[in-house]
Structure 1
Amino acid sequence: MSGHFSALLRADTPAQGPRVPVSVLTGFLGSGKTTLLNQLLASPDLSGTAVIVNEFGEAGLDQDLLTAAAPDDVVLLPNGCLCCAVRGDLVQALGALMDRPGQAIQRVVIETSGLAEPGPILRTLLLDPLLSTRYRLGTVFCTVDAVLGQNSLAQHPEALAQLAAADEVLVTKLDLITHPAETASLLNCLAQLNPSAPVRQLGLDGVELLRQRLLAPRADLAPPPAPAFYHPVGAPTASPRHLADVQSFVLLRDEPLDLDGFAQWLDMVVAAQGEKLLRFKGLVQTVQSPEKPLVVHAIQHLFHPPAYLPAWPTADHRTRLVFITRGMDREALESTLDVMARPRRRRRPT
């Protein structure tokens, strides 16, 4: 029986009109998410931005701190974990934003609770049949406190899940760091734990870059940005504890892979060890379409719909697969990939 990735690969994407991008701003408690949002929303260019605040506890406060946003553009979801019980609230909130009278919503930003794992939010956005016709997933940003970030990652699994889900990492409170070695240690730690996410040191330039990302054209069905690959120097600098079994690595393949075999391999990996997979991202060169890289993304058991880029972004056409895992066996992944996704030799007709 085929798995989820194989089914997505075979699925025909229905024609749709333009969809509203939903970006997710995650990060552990006190990492500066609300402060950053206020700076962004103060820009006149970002009018038409709705904000959904997911705050822990019955009495929310963060929505009142978003002084740069119009009151009608802020929605509070008071359950900070965004677990299964409140996914319906997220669906309802996004539906209400789309259907309300007045100025059309141009983009949505979801600010998660500092204790929330972003996986349920992303699953809701990608899998809900109604939302997927009206919204598309934008960029997942993760703020990391420059002072307390490494301790948070070492002590709180939620902080690690937030970092693993990120497309871009935003380091805040750098002005409080007095020793350059501390900054270098943190940046190396972040690159070790999520090697495919660019790390931005947030100053005025960083806020401007973020503003430009939110203003990017709403190209419907655009594939996610091609993953970047970082190779930090030195050993991981995060404290041990629950990070001891977390590892990130990149699988490289020089020869094109058979698409069907690769899909079956990925289905097998997720079925057997999906609970160990925090993040997966890659560019795949296939035998079937060697000149167009296949972009693949997964967060835990959830895959983004795979999409082909029109051309390779660089001269490097190798397959590159980034894994962030809890105790996955790299050698087993390597050997099974070589067996299952190797190019099939077709027999010549006799």
Structure 2
Amino acid sequence: MSVITGFLGAGKTTLLNRILKEPVLENTAVIINEFGEIGLDHLLVDTIDDGIIELSSGCLCCTIRGDLINTLEDILRRIDNGRMKKIDRVIIETTGLADPAPVLHTVMLHPYLVMRYRLDGVVTLVDSVNGLDTIHSHEEAVKQVAVADRIVLTKTDLEEPSDGLMAELKHLNPGATVLKAQDGSATAAALINCGLYNPETKIPDVQKWLKEEAYKEEHSSHGHHHHHGDGHDHDHHHDPNRHGKDVRAFTLETDRAVSNAALEMFLDLLRSAHGPKLLRVKGIIKTVEHPEQPLVIHGVQHVFHPPARLAEWPDADQRTRLVFITKGLSEGFVKKMFDAFTGGVAADTPDQTAMMDNPLSIGGFSGTFK
């Protein structure tokens, strides 16, 4: 499942019209809000059923009926009953004013949907002409950029992105790949398969997924790269009221193996007390119980995907690495909390030992860390 988001006027419809014609998206279902609003310019081949149409590219398109859960469940029922062909992918296009986190939570929290759908990635469109002003003025635009796996710059034929815009995107989300809609780089193939696993080899590509080096680079240049833009951008970056000024991207890493219980308590406390401030969390963790089989976690705000236990480390780097994008939550605070649970708490205390066999209480997780 892929989510396409972006602020009003960013060009989501134009991008959808183009990428849906590419063969790689042949067996795709597209979920939009209203047919009339999106203006897909494909010839509509046929109406399969109420609310579902087939496009000339072979893709299926449907509107959100009731809510997103109902629509996603309806697609599964139609496939299971043989009333709709099997699909390889679902693309959800959000409204321009939407915070994408609730859309992601819909799949991550639902016990049935999480078994049938896998979140691939978030594609966020940013208008090169108005993008910087939009980010500075609208909280939703900040969140759209922060949760993105791919950022697509649009309207670059009208105006190249300013240094200020590029610096702001890197500040808000240093790990996202930035593409341009007008230069041909934002192909369907470039926008999908953002997840942990290489779809061809099925082998996890941790470096590509985590991109912790990008976070470190941003961290080391923080406070310097904001001053390279023109005067207009310079003024914006010193506006104390602008959105995104308290967004931080950083990494935590350690050679120490972390006990399941310590990890659970750290994440549970962080999620329950500061969930809205956690825009994105990703990590690969070396646990005491299974040091040769790392644990992969992925969260958006207070909701986390069910953790995945890899069969083995994908490369020679066997450190625990966590990357964070937070808003209003300092790196120092998170690091002190992490160190307190992973370095300052004995692994064999009664409370922790008892917790090792208990189901996780972290929102969105299922099962245990075993």
TM-score, length-scaled by structure 1: 0.77
Residue pair 2:24, 2:188 contacting (<8 A) in 1 also: no
Aligned pairs for 1:306-325 (under 5 A) are 306-325=307-326
Distance 1:277 1:36 in 2: 29
Q: Which moved more, 1:297-306 or 1:336-345?
A: 336-345
Distance 2:348 2:104 in 1: 40
Residue pair 1:168, 1:200 contacting (<8 A) in 2 also: yes
The alignment of Structure 1 onto Structure 2 pairs a total of residues equal to: 312
Distance 1:219 1:160 in 2: 34
Secondary structure (helix, strand or coil) at the match of 1:226 reads helix
Mark the CA change 1:27 to 1:335 in structure 2 (over 3 Å): closer, same or farther: same
The offset of 1:301, in angstroms, is 0.8
2:272 counterpart residue number: 271
Distance 2:312 2:110 in 1: 30
Secondary structure (helix, strand or coil) at the match of 2:129 reads coil
> 47, 62, 80: which one pairs with 1:75?
62
1:5 counterpart residue number: none
The offset of 1:208, in angstroms, is 5.2
Distance 1:274 1:211 in 2: 28
2:352 counterpart residue number: none
The offset of 1:315, in angstroms, is 4.2
The offset of 1:174, in angstroms, is 2.3
AA matched with 2:250: F
1:204 counterpart residue number: 184
> 161, 177, 185: which one pairs with 2:159?
177
Residue pair 2:78, 2:84 contacting (<8 A) in 1 also: no
Distance 1:117 1:303 in 2: 17
The offset of 1:54, in angstroms, is 2.6
Secondary structure (helix, strand or coil) at the match of 1:74 reads strand
Q: Which moved more, 1:130-139 or 1:34-43?
A: 130-139
TM-score, length-scaled by structure 2: 0.73
Distance 2:9 2:78 in 1: 28
Residue pair 1:97, 1:105 contacting (<8 A) in 2 also: no
2:367 counterpart residue number: none
Residue pair 2:297, 2:307 contacting (<8 A) in 1 also: yes
Distance 2:259 2:104 in 1: 29
Residue pair 1:260, 1:341 contacting (<8 A) in 2 also: no
2:174 counterpart residue number: 195
Distance 2:283 2:76 in 1: 32
2:353 counterpart residue number: none
Secondary structure (helix, strand or coil) at the match of 1:296 reads strand
The offset of 1:191, in angstroms, is 1.7
Tell me if 1:94 matches 2:37: no
2:36 counterpart residue number: 60
Q: Which runs of 5+ in 2 are unaligned?
A: 46-52, 55-59, 227-232, 350-370
Higher relative contact order (CA 8 A, sep 6+): 1
Aligned pairs for 1:1-350 (under 5 A) are 22-54=1-33, 60-62=36-38, 64-67=39-42, 71-72=53-54, 73-77=60-64, 86-95=67-76, 97-98=78-79, 99=81, 101-178=83-160, 182-202=161-181, 203-207=183-187, 209-210=189-190, 213=193, 217=199, 226-229=209-212, 230=214, 231-232=217-218, 233=221, 234-236=224-226, 239=237, 240=239, 241-342=242-343, 344=346
The offset of 1:144, in angstroms, is 1.5
Distance 1:184 1:28 in 2: 20
Query: Percent identical across equivalent pairs?
Result: 37
Distance 1:69 1:285 in 2: 51
The offset of 1:324, in angstroms, is 1.7
Distance 2:44 2:254 in 1: 47
Mark the CA change 1:45 to 1:201 in structure 2 (over 3 Å): closer, same or farther: closer
Secondary structure (helix, strand or coil) at the match of 1:174 reads coil
The offset of 1:140, in angstroms, is 1.6
Distance 2:82 2:30 in 1: 14
1:169-205 superposed Cα distances (whole Å, 9 cap, x missing partner): 2222222234xxx444322211211123222334313
Residue pair 1:40, 1:211 contacting (<8 A) in 2 also: no
1:291-342 superposed Cα distances (whole Å, 9 cap, x missing partner): 4432211111110111133444554433222222221132222122112112
AA matched with 1:74: C
Mark the CA change 1:274 to 1:173 in structure 2 (over 3 Å): closer, same or farther: same
Q: Which moved more, 1:312-321 or 1:123-132?
A: 312-321
Mark the CA change 1:334 to 1:144 in structure 2 (over 3 Å): closer, same or farther: same
Secondary structure (helix, strand or coil) at the match of 1:176 reads coil
